[in-house]
């Protein structure tokens, strides 16, 4: 399986260390050490796996795909959110364990408006408080003239958010755009909750770029932008 270049430093260094340790073990005759050495490297490399996925091509423009692999941990309605210009929003929150693929993908075809990195704490990503106080990166996307958000949130282990996006950049639905290294949370933030049909529930397992999370039910209004 391909490995993400976002983790080149980590799995590349691990590869060099594993090779050096293997050479040393071979020279002193401790051949049995080769198995645990390379098993450990596989564990590190597996975190940065980047599976090739065929993003559904026949979906309506009103459908939003999951921006991450993981488990739906919360679905919230809020009176206002930065991603929607202060207007009401629905937030679909996904918890990523260390066993999940950590590549983030665009939920729809859109243009990047801006990214807002916010420093914070590193609480366990499984707690509700972590979504409010942990380090995060909010990506605001323009889709048909209205804004939606994808937020990357660090966890207790995750200490580095990767997001190379720049304002004006175009993203296709399902396109890779970054990752959060180790356990973390990703949120999809949608405007006009009254028109949003959430197609997942808390506890569901989802896959980035494949699982349909939500859709706008007011197709006429959505097509008009």
Indicate which residue of 62, 73, 106, 184 is catalytic. 184
Q: Let me know if 73 is a catalytic residue.
A: no
SS in 3 state form for the chain?
Answer: CCECHHHHHHHHHHHHHHHHHHHHHHHCCCHHHHHHHHHHHHHHHHHCECCCCCCCCCCCCCEEECCCCEEEEEEEEECCCHHHCCCCEEEEEEEECCCCCCEEECCCCEEEEEEEEECCECCCCCCCCHHHHECEEEEEEEECCEEEEEEEEECCCCCCEECCCCCCCEECCCCEEEEECCCEEEEEEEECHHHEEECCCCCCEECCCCCEEEEECCHHHHHCC
- Active site residue ranges: 184
């Amino acid at each position: 399986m391909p490995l993400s270049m976002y983790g080149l430093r980590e799995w590349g260094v691990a590869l060099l260390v594993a090779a050096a340790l293997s050479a040393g073990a071979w020279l002193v005759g401790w051949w049995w050490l080769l198995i645990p050495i390379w098993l450990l490297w596989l564990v590190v490399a597996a975190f940065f796996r980047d599976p090739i996925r065929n993003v559904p091509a026949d979906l309506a423009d009103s459908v939003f795909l999951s921006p991450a692999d993981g488990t739906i941990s919360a679905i919230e309605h809020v009176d206002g959110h930065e991603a929607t210009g202060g207007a009401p929003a629905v937030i679909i929150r996904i918890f990523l364990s260390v066993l999940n693929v950590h590549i983030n993908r665009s939920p729809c075809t859109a243009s990047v408006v801006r990214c807002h990195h916010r420093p914070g704490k590193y609480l366990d990503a499984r707690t509700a408080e972590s979504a409010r106080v942990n380090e995060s990166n909010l990506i605001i996307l323009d889709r048909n003239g209205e804004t939606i958000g994808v937020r990357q949130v660090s966890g207790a282990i995750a200490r580095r958010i990767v997001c190379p996006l720049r304002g004006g950049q175009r993203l296709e639905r399902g396109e890779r755009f970054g990752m959060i290294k180790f356990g973390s949370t990703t949120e999809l933030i949608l405007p006009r909750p009254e028109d949003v049909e959430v197609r997942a529930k808390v506890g569901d397992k989802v896959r980035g770029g494949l699982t349909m999370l939500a859709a706008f039910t007011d197709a006429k209004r959505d097509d008009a932008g």
